[in-house]
Amino acid sequence: MSTVAVSPSNSISMLAERYAAVRAQSTALARPLSPEDACVQSMDDASPAKWHLAHTSWFFETFVLAQSNTNYTPFDPNYRVLFNSYYNAVGAQYSRPHRGLLTRPSLSDIHAYRSHIDTQMSRVIEGDIDPELAAIIEVGLHHEQQHQELLLMDIKHLLSCNPVAPAYIAHVERPVLATSELSFCDYPGGIIRVGADGTDFSFDNERPCHDALLHEYSLATRPITNKEYLAFISDGGYHNSLLWLADGWATVKKHDWEAPMYWRNTDDQWFEFSLTGEHPLVPNAPVVHISYYEADAYARWANARLPTETEWEFAANDTATHGNFVEHEYLHPQANGSTDLSHPTQLFGDVWEWTMSPYIPYPGFQTPAGAIGEYNGKFMSGQMVLRGGCCVTPHEHIRATYRNFFYPANRWQFGGIRLAR
Amino acid sequence: MSTVAVSPSNSISMLAERYAAVRAQSTALARPLSPEDACVQSMDDASPAKWHLAHTSWFFETFVLAQSNTNYTPFDPNYRVLFNSYYNAVGAQYSRPHRGLLTRPSLSDIHAYRSHIDTQMSRVIEGDIDPELAAIIEVGLHHEQQHQELLLMDIKHLLSCNPVAPAYIAHVERPVLATSELSFCDYPGGIIRVGADGTDFSFDNERPCHDALLHEYSLATRPITNKEYLAFISDGGYHNSLLWLADGWATVKKHDWEAPMYWRNTDDQWFEFSLTGEHPLVPNAPVVHISYYEADAYARWANARLPTETEWEFAANDTATHGNFVEHEYLHPQANGSTDLSHPTQLFGDVWEWTMSPYIPYPGFQTPAGAIGEYNGKFMSGQMVLRGGCCVTPHEHIRATYRNFFYPANRWQFGGIRLAR
Amino acid sequence: MSTVAVSPSNSISMLAERYAAVRAQSTALARPLSPEDACVQSMDDASPAKWHLAHTSWFFETFVLAQSNTNYTPFDPNYRVLFNSYYNAVGAQYSRPHRGLLTRPSLSDIHAYRSHIDTQMSRVIEGDIDPELAAIIEVGLHHEQQHQELLLMDIKHLLSCNPVAPAYIAHVERPVLATSELSFCDYPGGIIRVGADGTDFSFDNERPCHDALLHEYSLATRPITNKEYLAFISDGGYHNSLLWLADGWATVKKHDWEAPMYWRNTDDQWFEFSLTGEHPLVPNAPVVHISYYEADAYARWANARLPTETEWEFAANDTATHGNFVEHEYLHPQANGSTDLSHPTQLFGDVWEWTMSPYIPYPGFQTPAGAIGEYNGKFMSGQMVLRGGCCVTPHEHIRATYRNFFYPANRWQFGGIRLAR
Amino acid sequence: MSTVAVSPSNSISMLAERYAAVRAQSTALARPLSPEDACVQSMDDASPAKWHLAHTSWFFETFVLAQSNTNYTPFDPNYRVLFNSYYNAVGAQYSRPHRGLLTRPSLSDIHAYRSHIDTQMSRVIEGDIDPELAAIIEVGLHHEQQHQELLLMDIKHLLSCNPVAPAYIAHVERPVLATSELSFCDYPGGIIRVGADGTDFSFDNERPCHDALLHEYSLATRPITNKEYLAFISDGGYHNSLLWLADGWATVKKHDWEAPMYWRNTDDQWFEFSLTGEHPLVPNAPVVHISYYEADAYARWANARLPTETEWEFAANDTATHGNFVEHEYLHPQANGSTDLSHPTQLFGDVWEWTMSPYIPYPGFQTPAGAIGEYNGKFMSGQMVLRGGCCVTPHEHIRATYRNFFYPANRWQFGGIRLAR
């Protein structure tokens, strides 16, 4: 399939192993959830955990099982509509803002569905697998990893609506590391290569690899911390229209924003709601759950700007993708204690870093044929690119060329700030 | 307590028995529901089943346990806010349209809460009970019966949103009885007594008992059937503005109403969704789940009108309260097969009958002192009175003087039509 | 035409005179308005002055000229749609909330339209006029008087939106009269006659004249003043939910109401915007521009209630209709200086008095046949009755049986408070 | 002032002449409008013509007169708020969606305001003018030209809401020219200079002039015509979700779009509303009043794409800015009859051409200091760039580097399609 760069590592045994591992991780993430937790939808943008578990299975059923076997009998014909997210080419979809109304099928029905799909999929994977099919399975696994992150974002939002402030998992106290002073690294301009070259797996939106012109720039050595963001708040940042984009200012006024999404002020002390419950704000940790508008206003206040996605990628190209990912089970950004100011740190993990680049196609971008062509291309309007993954992203899901995207007003993803000049 | 007419039958042993029976009935109604079913809220007007189970217990905890024992320790201090419906005098309330977001406490937590309250309540009831306290307990039991009906209305709405059309309980086929031709009984005018005289339990809104002037009138011998309502639809009823109140017509246009709430047309055949799933429409059964606007338009089309609540009560005064109530477990209105045209039938049970009377206070009405004063009085604006109970009402909850009330656009309660002239 | 009680005074010469006088009054009311003032619509509920001038002429064109002459050529065929208010039986209507977009026809076009209609109408009136046609003309004149009041209400709202606070007409300083202490007159109960008996002109909603049962009651001798209403505000009236109907409290919160509609607080002093501009609040004058919800909450706070419309009418039956009407050109309610506490004063004029009676049909009410049947009947839902006329009502338009009606949240009409017990 | 590149041609005599000419043009454009036409606002995005006339004068009063003379007495102190568009640094603004409610000041008041400002301005211009002040005056004249175009866009929308379909100016029949077949011109890639170099006047958003990397591309020789767009409609373009961006498809469904904004279908024939009234659609003329979403969907349907703004500018750099501008008084796009396929035609005038480039700052962009810094920078979010001017743009206002910008759903500006590959 032309839309997917097939990695040479897709040997069948590795695929089977990866399939099992990724699928098991979804199940593991759902384990702390009650049937109620897994069913409810707390806002239009979010989906129930149960729906994520079902939809990722629907993806394999629709794009692999039904494609590879013309006699395939669906597990339940209703699921074709219920768990189709947005693929118009596949057919009708159950209304997105109503996903939380589906109390039936139950959570255990969905676990049975997953088992059924896994059994069927193992037959396909162990068979004489077509490389094009293997490539779609690979997409399906990366797709499931995206939904693992969404599941955690959405559960965090749901639990945050409960005045009892329940924790997704128990809190573990950890030593708080120091944070270095903010400094900047300089980069020269020139023509560079941008995007995925097809050596490893990539999504269609990372391709084609192409030349881009970079102007000289500097990039901050680490993300902005809560303490630094508090200085912006204390300086009246949320009340000074001159710091904001016009759309941003309208959004601040409409929602009465006064602080990042999950911050709460009680008796003049700041707390932050996290997947481990509500805790006092950690000054050294990266600020998180802010919108593009807030990141942009902060940067203006700090006499800086956000980087372009090309600037970010160039800096990240020669950096290892180590960082605070979902595997660490912190599920919250952390100060990293680094004192090395010679190059940017924490580019990967902790917080998705807003760039000033709107999410548009790369020169020469082609949407793949068929329903899979709806995967990315149709969202290339009105959203901004974020880079680097965060503390709820699977580590192996991320890479320097990876393009995430959200609307500038979105805050429920783990978005943070890295400055540029 | 002046707001409640204490019935002489409130001997302590009977109260204990009644308490146990009413509370057990709530638990029984929740039994067919999964934790997911019991948690989700399908529209702002509805509440989750779990919330109904908790709120009815909160009522006893707040108005009986905490009142009768100044050292009372609440089961969970969070519940004071979470399960307060609308009593501003008690304090803050968790936002009504967000009740469905409370995945915690879990359904089993709420069952534990119920047990705890029941244990505490039995101590109060078996003790040296104050008559005023006994009267509040009586209110609490009638209150819980109201929520039993709401629980079934709300679950019906929730399940109706699911394209799989799940049944709350299994369907039992029953013989369909015949329905007599529609005819009318005549009543003379004169001054009559209206409202509850205090002999038995009544809500404050049924009091004081007072004189009212009745003009000569006629009342239909039975409710309008699905077949009769279909004739209205076939005659273009939903497309002829001249049949409708202005607000009704605006509502029809806004929601594109073409039939009663749970009717569905597939391949030119009408089906009706019910608590036992989706089934072909039964022509002889009373039409149900229509708004006041539809009842009013139907009446105008049929050259009749809806009765006033006084006309209805006068006719009902000398009628036994037999009928199709929740205890029959039909959970849907039925044709009753009666051929007796000498007096109105089915005044009680089957469908709540819309009257043309706005819900306003009776002459001399006084809201009781304290929080309980918010029970009824503050809703006396913008709603219409319905009479007679329905197929999901507890039988012993109903009486001739009972006033139910809904907004004219509401359809999810079991509202139907009885004509007058 | 059965819908209109023809008054014996409808001799032709008197009709011609009345026609000329009423039509001239509309033109006079529009005189202080610029073409811009007459064109703009400041909210959905209001209409432009130009539209009122046109619609009242459309009424005569549609219901008199086109009915009496089958060869009648309309002044402009577009007007049939543009200036139809809500008569579905006549045909389509231009969207109500967009009436203010009709910059063409111009104000002078509409004046030409009015002249044309007047010329045609004088031929009809001077001819051998059919009594039924005379009766419709009579309705048309009362209809035009209603729109005269609406024109002033709507212009007041429009000018109030302008930060410059322009006056409709110049302010004339007048001596402020004293106001007596509030006291109550007692009335016995019994069966009384209610509604219009057909002696003089009446609208269909005032008929049929019928018996009603009155319970003993007391009625305040005058409306509530600004000073008294200020005491309610100072006592936290707008912040105490226990004083309000549930719908009223929701409305207060939604709109952040803190005072009557046109009150403005500058440097801790209260001003009131009026048709003669913004002026310091007059303590002794009746409070005006409050909703039903506010009237009801005030009454509860004052340990009283609002009267029923029957109670009001019984008291008004033997009172002369003198009062502060549009002819006085105050265009604002005034203290009347009366010290007579033996009977209610200011029942007529100054402020429309909210009653606790929902606007529903009288027993035996029939909507007239034809389009004119849409005049009143279809609005009998969700609104409350007000009685007595106000300072912008034509004096001869009002009578004891007159029923005005608005939604309980409406404030832009001149609504005030008279208490009952 | 660093924000404005001062053109060497700003000699004082030329400035006086230009000032007089631009100001006179605004007055001329308002001449066909009645006071009502000039007052009403037909949607939130539009402003009344009277407001445009006032605001452009406010600009000179605020940024020139009040700056250059510390004793300056404002014409009317209320105007500072009433006619401030969006300059938070200047102070409060009257609510934008309510501009149409300002029936006072009247149109003649505003004409008096304009005269007053012109008199004051001529003293400033004829005096010993500071170059920085001259530069602001230059901005003010370009600003006024922008509002001349807005005035025509807004009046077109207002008149289109009137079922009578009034014309702004009388229609003149013109010979319809032929249109060549669509073909493409090829351009090589490479590093080019983009943006304004400061030789002539430019807005801050056109600067700084900078290097950009161009990939090889082709550009259509002319805009898409109505006939071509009709083929897209006939092929089900508005009903095929696969052709649309996700946000575009949601917009199509929300507004039930079936054709460009001012197209109307009567008896199966297409008409188009224009500033000269409603006329049959001209097949050869460029399609106009489409959103970015429609332009993008059309391009996808045509196996092409929209150009980037850099691609457009490179092609336009060596093209004369001749074209159909406001001075031609067509006020509607025209076929140009060109048969030359060797280079793009109609790049300037007729229709603004949507590019696929989001409106973001050029590398190194700095917002100017002071209130004038709000002119462009704060809108660099969520909007798309359009290039080339249109049939209601003043000719001398346009240049190859000019960047216009609208939200992707906007249709009331004169937006059209030029394809690229």
Note whether residue C166 is domain-resident. no
- Which pLDDT score, from 0 to 100, does residue A323 have? 95
* Helix, strand, coil distribution of chain C in percent, nearest 5: 40, 10, 50
Task: Decide: helix, strand or coil at residue B208.
Answer: coil
Q: CA-CA distances (angstroms) from residue D28 to B393, C36, C90, D25?
A: 74, 20, 42, 5
Q: Let me know if chains B and C touch, i.e. at least 3 Cβ pairs under 8 angstroms.
A: yes
Share above pLDDT 70 across residues of chain C, in percent, rounded to a whole number: 97
Whether the pLDDT of residue C1 is over 60: the answer is no
Using DSSP bridges, classify how beta strands C217-220 and C210-214 pair: parallel, antiparallel or unpaired. unpaired
Task: Decide: helix, strand or coil at residue B412.
Answer: coil
> Do the beta carbons of residue B281 and residue B271 sit within 8 Å?
yes
d(CA A410, CA A295): 12
- pLDDT band for B3, please (50, 70, 90 cuts): very low
D197 CB contacts (<8 Å, ≥6 apart)? D209
Whether the pLDDT of residue C9 is over 80: the answer is no
Distance of CA B128 to the CA centre of its chain: 34
> b/e map of C9-43 (b: 16 or more CB within 10 Å)?
ebeeeebbebbeebbebbeebbeebbbbbbbbbbe
d(CA C270, CA B415): 49
In terms of domains, do C61 and C99 share one? yes
What pLDDT digit, counting tens, does each position of B248-278 carry? 999 999 999 999 999 999 999 999 999 999 9
DSSP B239: G
Residues of A whose CB is below 8 A from B42: 101
- Which pLDDT score, from 0 to 100, does residue C4 have? 41
What pLDDT digit, counting tens, does each position of C180-199 carry? 899 999 999 999 999 999 99
Residues of A whose CB is below 8 A from B82: 163-164
Task: Give this prediction's pTM.
Answer: 0.95
Residues of A whose CB is below 8 A from B38: 36
Note whether residue D168 is domain-resident. no
Chain B interface test: which of A43, A103, A110, A160 (most B C-beta within 10 Å): A103
Length of chain C: 421
Average of per-residue pLDDT across A148-159 = 98
Write out the two tokens for D377: 């920078």
Note whether residue A174 is domain-resident. no
Average of per-residue pLDDT across A217-233 = 97
d(CA D140, CA D68): 15
Mean pLDDT of chain D: 94
- Split into its structural domains, chain C has a count of 2
Residue A62 φ/ψ, nearest 5 degrees: -80, -45
Distance from CA of A419 to the nearest CA of D (A): 15
C-beta atoms surrounding C134 within 10 Å: 21
Chain D interface test: which of C103, C162, C169 (most D C-beta within 10 Å): C103
- pLDDT band for C371, please (50, 70, 90 cuts): confident
In terms of domains, do B241 and B353 share one? yes
- Which pLDDT score, from 0 to 100, does residue D390 have? 98
Q: CA-CA distances (angstroms) from residue C239 to C288, C297, C301?
A: 20, 11, 12
> Do the beta carbons of residue D280 and residue D338 sit within 8 Å?
no
Whether the pLDDT of residue B6 is over 60: the answer is no
Cα R_g (chain B), whole angstroms: 22
- Among D160, D192, D210, the domain boundary falls at D160
One-character DSSP codes across D309-346: HHHHHHHHTTS---S--GGG---S---------SS---
DSSP A368: P
Q: Which of D100, D105, D162 is closest, CB to CB, to C104? A: D162
Q: Which residues pair with D405 in a beta bridge?
A: D385
Predicted complex ipTM exceeds 0.90 = yes
- Which pLDDT score, from 0 to 100, does residue B145 have? 98
- pLDDT band for A6, please (50, 70, 90 cuts): very low
d(CA C376, CA C380): 7
Which range, of A172-181, C142-151, D384-393, averages the lowest pLDDT? A172-181
Note whether residue B2 is domain-resident. no
Q: Strand D269-274's sheet: what is its strand order?
A: D263-266, D269-274, D277-280
What pLDDT digit, counting tens, does each position of D11-66 carry? 677 999 999 999 999 999 999 999 999 999 999 999 999 999 999 999 999 999 99
CA B400-B401-B406 angle, to 5 degrees, is 105
Average of per-residue pLDDT across A209-215 = 98
Write out the two tokens for A158: 């749901």
Average of per-residue pLDDT across A330-350 = 91
In terms of domains, do A397 and A302 share one? yes
What pLDDT digit, counting tens, does each position of A370-381 carry? 878 888 899 999
Measured distance between the N- and C-terminal CA atoms of chain D, rounded to whole angstroms: 41
Write out the two tokens for A303: 């006499």
Closest residue of chain A to B79, computed from CA coordinates:
A164
Write out the two tokens for C413: 């009409």
Contact call for B104 and A39, based on CB within 8 A:
no
Range of the domain at A18: 8-160
Name the H helices within A246-291: 246-255
Burial (Cβ within 10 Å: 0-12, 13-18, ≥19) of residue A112: middle
Residues of B whose CB is below 8 A from A48: none
Contact call for B103 and A162, based on CB within 8 A:
yes
Chain A interface test: which of D211, D381, D407 (most A C-beta within 10 Å): D381
DSSP D225: B
d(CA A302, CA B64): 59
Share above pLDDT 70 across residues of chain D, in percent, rounded to a whole number: 97
Q: Which of B210, B248, B382 is closest, CB to CB, to C247? A: B382
Whether the pLDDT of residue C6 is over 50: the answer is no
- Which pLDDT score, from 0 to 100, does residue D3 have? 39
- Which pLDDT score, from 0 to 100, does residue C322 have? 93
Chain A interface test: which of B103, B109, B159 (most A C-beta within 10 Å): B103
Helices then strands, counting H and E runs in chain C, come out as: 11, 11
Q: Strand C263-266's sheet: what is its strand order?
A: C263-266, C269-274, C277-280
Looking at A165-296, which runs of residues are DSSP E strands? 184-187, 190-194, 210-214, 217-220, 263-266, 269-274, 277-280
Note whether residue C151 is domain-resident. yes
- Which pLDDT score, from 0 to 100, does residue A232 have? 98
Contact call for D191 and A212, based on CB within 8 A:
no
Q: Which of A35, A103, A162 is closest, CB to CB, to B101? A: A162
What pLDDT digit, counting tens, does each position of C290-300 carry? 999 999 999 99
Can you say whether the dihedral through the CA atoms of C77, C81, C83, C84 is positive or negative?
A: positive
Give the closest residue to C200 by CA, choosing from C6, C394, C368. Answer: C6
In terms of domains, do D266 and D341 share one? yes
D189: CATH: 3.90.1580.10
Name the more confident of C128 and D221.
D221
Residues of C whose CB is below 8 A from D164: 78, 82, 104-105
Write out the two tokens for C402: 């007159």
Q: How many CB pairs under 8 A join A and B?
A: 82
Residues of A whose CB is below 8 A from D247: 381-382
Average of per-residue pLDDT across D287-308 = 98
- pLDDT band for C3, please (50, 70, 90 cuts): very low
Residues of B whose CB is below 8 A from C193: none
Whether the pLDDT of residue C229 is over 70: the answer is yes
A373 CB contacts (<8 Å, ≥6 apart)? A3, A89, A367, D242
Q: Which of D242, D373, D379 is closest, CB to CB, to A246? A: D379
d(CA C41, CA C47): 6
In terms of domains, do B273 and B387 share one? yes
Burial (Cβ within 10 Å: 0-12, 13-18, ≥19) of residue C184: middle
Give the closest residue to A244 by CA, choosing from D56, D408, D86, D80. Answer: D86
Element spanning D384, H or E: strand D384-387
Note whether residue B273 is domain-resident. yes
Whether the pLDDT of residue C269 is over 70: the answer is yes
In terms of domains, do D152 and D193 share one? no
Q: Helices D292-301 and D246-255: crossing angle, nearest 10°? A: 120
Q: How many CB pairs under 8 A join A and D?
A: 72
Contact call for C211 and B212, based on CB within 8 A:
no
- Which pLDDT score, from 0 to 100, does residue C270 have? 98
In terms of domains, do D200 and D347 share one? yes
- Among B160, B195, B210, the domain boundary falls at B160
Contact call for B382 and C210, based on CB within 8 A:
no
Residue D280 φ/ψ, nearest 5 degrees: -60, 145
Contact call for A36 and B106, based on CB within 8 A:
yes
Whether the pLDDT of residue A214 is over 80: the answer is yes
Q: Which of A191, A241, A358 is closest, CB to CB, to D358? A: A358
d(CA D107, CA D97): 19
DSSP C225: B
DSSP C200: S
Whether the pLDDT of residue A4 is over 70: the answer is no
Burial (Cβ within 10 Å: 0-12, 13-18, ≥19) of residue A150: buried
What pLDDT digit, counting tens, does each position of A176-203 carry? 888 889 999 999 999 999 999 999 999 9
Using DSSP bridges, classify how beta strands C217-220 and C263-266 pair: parallel, antiparallel or unpaired. unpaired
d(CA A296, CA A237): 11
Task: Decide: helix, strand or coil at residue D372.
Answer: helix
What pLDDT digit, counting tens, does each position of B166-194 carry? 999 999 988 888 888 999 999 999 999 99
In terms of domains, do C146 and C193 share one? no
Average of per-residue pLDDT across D366-379 = 87
Whether the pLDDT of residue B5 is over 60: the answer is no
In terms of domains, do C225 and C153 share one? no
Write out the two tokens for C107: 């104000």
C-beta atoms surrounding A276 within 10 Å: 16
Residues of A whose CB is below 8 A from D84: none
Q: Let me know if chains C and A touch, i.e. at least 3 Cβ pairs under 8 angstroms.
A: no
In terms of domains, do B212 and B125 share one? no
Residues of B whose CB is below 8 A from C378: 244-246, 249
Give the closest residue to A195 by CA, choosing from A312, A22, A344, A31. Answer: A312
- Which pLDDT score, from 0 to 100, does residue B342 have? 85
Whether the pLDDT of residue D145 is over 90: the answer is yes
In terms of domains, do B41 and B104 share one? yes
In terms of domains, do B100 and B213 share one? no
- Which pLDDT score, from 0 to 100, does residue A3 have? 39
Contact call for C40 and D103, based on CB within 8 A:
yes
Contact call for C378 and B245, based on CB within 8 A:
yes
Whether the pLDDT of residue D9 is over 70: the answer is no
Rounded (10°) CA dihedral C288, C292, C297, C298: 30
Residue C52 φ/ψ, nearest 5 degrees: -60, -45
Name the more confident of B336 and B74.
B74
Note whether residue A20 is domain-resident. yes
Residues of B whose CB is below 8 A from C244: 378
Mean pLDDT of chain C: 94
Note whether residue C3 is domain-resident. no
Write out the two tokens for B199: 């002999």
Distance from CA of D252 to the nearest CA of C (A): 23
Q: Let me know if chains D and A touch, i.e. at least 3 Cβ pairs under 8 angstroms.
A: yes
Q: Which of A241, A247, A360 is closest, CB to CB, to D358? A: A360
- pLDDT band for A367, please (50, 70, 90 cuts): confident
Average of per-residue pLDDT across B199-217 = 96
Average of per-residue pLDDT across A358-376 = 90
